[in-house]
Amino acid sequence: MTDEIDASGALEASGLGKKYRRGWALRDVAFRLPAGRICALVGPNGSGKSTLLSLAAGLLTPTTGTLRVFGRSSDAPGARARIAFVAQDKPLYPRFSVADTLRLGRELNPRWDQKTAERVVAEGEVPLSARVGSLSGGQRTCVALAMALGKRADLLLLDEPMSDQDPLRRHRMMGVLMAEAAERGTGVVISTHVLAELDGVCDYLLLMGGGRIRLAGEADAIQAAHRLVTGPRAAGGGTPDALARHTVVETRATGRQLTALIRPADAPAGDGWIVTEPSLEDVLLGYLRAPDAPPLFTADARTTGTEVEA
């Protein structure tokens, strides 16, 4: 794994917004993704994941703010060669054969790596002579991934790449992807709404909701910043006094018991409270259930424009 240190980070957004005719898809987004990370971009459908990825791929132009890719504007010519993008619907020419599709990559990319591309296609058991239009969804994804990996980009943007893969091919494709990341230090952003898909894969996390970033940073740090506490419910309902000095993300009451996901201000002690460390999934579920919880950015996800929350 090569240590690619890019002071500006792979992605850096500030004041980023995108408005479609039907309204704002992204608003006031600011975050930083260091180079060489495997980042999960999580959020419910319509939360702005695809818009953010399309902006990073240079397919869309921001309405407000900027999105820098390795320090350069995302629609600058130099940025294009450093980024590979697999869109959710995996656009490919249906009348091309798989071999023709790879040749397209070879003809249009100076850094093209035919061997890697062919290996990915072989790993997915897709014949080179097959017409793209005759492939199954999973096989198409495999060809799209081969295109992205053959490009030898420094950042791969994958929009729900595994949604139509069977478990075996998903494992293989993920293995190929991680091997590439291991060998070349390639950063990866994978959007998904099924976090379990990325368990053990991602080390960085972006949680989106309503066109904004709600959690950003190292997966470990985000997990470590939260506690799951269980204790007695307050008499009149509402947040018990014992939790008042912490940032409460979400509370759930069962009978006389209350379970809360909190970001502790200090040691979250208190008589009668059981404190455990939540799993990453617990944290994400907590935030997804509580759309109004305050956002959290860990230190290396902050840009100068990011309001400091944690």
Partner 1 sequence: MVEYRIDRRSGVATYLQIVQQTKQALRLGLLEPGDRLPTAREVVAATAINPNTVLKAYRELEREGLVEPRPGLGTFVRRSLARPGAAADSPLRAELADWTDRARAAGLDHEDVTALVASVLEERFGKTAAPGERGHEENG
Partner 2 sequence: MSAIGIRVRASAGTRPRVRGLVWLVARQHRAALWAGLAVVVAIAAYIVWQRAEMMGYVRAHDIQGCTEQNWEGLCHGRDIDPRDGTSPTADALRHLSDTYRTPLLNTGRLLIALPALIGVFIGAPLFARELETGTHRLVWTQSVGRTRWLIAKLALPLTAVTTGTAVLAALYTWWWRAARPQLQDIAWGTAVPFDATGPAAVALAPPAFLLGAAAGLLLRRTVPAMAVTLGATAGVQYGLDALRPHLMTPWTVVSDAPGAFPSIPRNVYFTAWRDLGGGFLTRSGEKVPLDRCSSATDSEDAWNRCLERFGATRRWYEELHPASHYWPMQWTQTGICLAAAVALAAVCLWWIRRGRA
- What does R_g of the chain's alpha carbons equal in angstroms? 21
**Separation between Cα atoms, residue 207 and residue 75, nearest integer Å:** 24
| Residue 93 makes contact with partner 2 by CB under 8 A | yes
Interface with partner 2 by CB under 8 A: which range of 9-17, 55-63, 116-124, 223-231? 55-63
DSSP code string of 173-237: HHHHHHHHHHHH--EEEEEES-GGGGTTT-SEEEEEETTEEEEEEEHHHHHHT-EEEEEEPPTTS
Binding residue for partner 2 (CB under 8 A) from 1, 2, 20, 91? 91
**Residue 257 contact, options partner 1, partner 2, none, Cβ 5-8 Å cut-off depending on partner type:** none
**Residue 100 contact, options partner 2, partner 1, none, Cβ 5-8 Å cut-off depending on partner type:** partner 2
Q: Which of 305, 60, 302, 86 is nearest to 189 (CA)?
A: 86
Closest contact distance (angstroms) between CB of 80 and partner 2 is 6
**Residue 202 contact, options partner 1, partner 2, none, Cβ 5-8 Å cut-off depending on partner type:** partner 1
Closest contact distance (angstroms) between CB of 11 and partner 1 is 18
| Residue 238 makes contact with partner 2 by CB under 8 A | no
DSSP 257: E
Please identify, using beta-carbon distances, which residue of 175 and 291 lies nearer to partner 1: 175
| Residue 300 makes contact with partner 2 by CB under 8 A | no
Q: Which of 149, 162, 156 is nearest to 195 (CA)?
A: 162
Residues ≥6 apart with Cβ < 8 Å to 300: 32, 34, 217, 218
CB 150 within 8 A of CB 113: yes
List contacts with partner 1 (CB under 8 A): 1, 37-38, 171-172, 174-179, 181-183, 199-203, 279
CB burial of residue 271 (10 Å; 0-12, 13-18, 19+): exposed
Interface with partner 2 in residues 105-144 (CB under 8 A): 105, 107-111
Binding residue for partner 2 (CB under 8 A) from 37, 80, 184, 214? 80
From the centroid of its chain, how far is CA 37?
A: 10
List residues near partner 2 by CB under 8 A.
57-61, 75, 77, 80-81, 83-85, 87, 89, 91-93, 96, 100, 103-105, 107-111, 147, 151
